[in-house]
Structure 1
Amino acid sequence: MTQYSTGLIPHMTINDNNAKAAIDFYKKAFGAEEVGRHDAEDGKRLMHAHIKVNDHDVFLMDAFPEHGSPNTSPAGIMLALRVDDPDKWWERATKAGATVLAPLDDQFWGDRWGLLADPYGHHWSISAPAKK
């Protein structure tokens, strides 16, 4: 049986039956580790997938409008990656196809921070304390 961390686990819905492709993207962009996946009965969609990003649990699934999980654009949530080397993480993510929304730079609040969008519309910030 899979063990999950305690606390809050992001659970993303991926539109247009792209959850399997999203897992591949997260592996390339964020070094995600796939823990497990469960196909839906239709064989086309993922009912549930579990990955780890930066050693933290993330769940994802395809949309299931017939069960109350419709295709909707992600809004109002940003997944914040606090990492050891933001430049390394940034380069890997952009090379994998993430779109830059705010460039990685030293910010007034003391972090090196930038904002990306994945191909599925989810926003990811990458940050660490800025080196002085």
Structure 2
Amino acid sequence: MTQALPPVLGGVCPYLGVSDAGRAADFYVKALGATEVMRMPPDEKGRYMHIHLVVNGGSLMLADAFPDHGHPLETPGAFTLHLQVDDADAWWKRAVEAGAEALMPVTDMFWGDRYGQFRDPFGIRWSVGTPIQKG
């Protein structure tokens, strides 16, 4: 590799192992407005070891499962990836229209955000929130 790797952005950077990292990256571009900044070439089976996206100003890394190298596909655990965004309604709608499963429509919440949840086609639960404008 002769080019410098793009910098990792944000505080915590999720690295997701999914069933089809190339398709997941394409979905996140469409559903979350992600920008793809790096994709390593796939192996002979079409699997990606590394894809780097930027979503809402932070890095998101993806890889396919490699059970033959000790990295099997696992069911996502009890976590939610949260995006604090400028317009939760628009982000939620775009994701659902792109194929995400609606889990919780965006609504005004007691803590002061408009907030909603969806699950992407790869089993990852996401939430979006925007502070409610007062006044």
Q: Normalising to structure 1: TM-score of the pair?
A: 0.92
Runs of 4+ in 1 over 4 A off after TM superposition: none
- Give the structure 2 partner of residue 3 of structure 1: 7
Counterpart AA for 2:84: R
Unaligned runs of 5+ residues in structure 2 are none
Please identify, of 38-47 and 116-125, the stretch whose mean Cα deviation from structure 2 is larger. 38-47
| CA distance in 2: counterparts of 1:5 and 1:102, whole angstroms | 28
The answer to which structure has the higher strand fraction is 1
SS at match of 2:49: strand
CA distance in 1, matches of 2:46, 2:62: 15
Range 120-129 or range 85-94, more displaced: 85-94
**Any idea what SS the aligned residue of 1:80 has?**
strand
Question: CA shift at 1:5, angstroms?
Answer: 2.5
- Deviation, 1:131, is 2.6
Deviation, 1:102, is 1.3
Identify the residue that residue 16 of structure 2 maps to in structure 1: 12
Count of paired positions: 130
Gaps of 5+ in 1: none
The structure 2 residue matched to 1:67, chosen from 69, 91, 94, is 69
More moved, 83-92 vs 117-126: 83-92
Query: What's the Cα RMSD here?
Result: 1.3
The residue correspondences of 1:85-100 to structure 2 (distance < 5 A) are: 85-100=87-102
> Which amino acid in 2 is paired with 1:42?
E
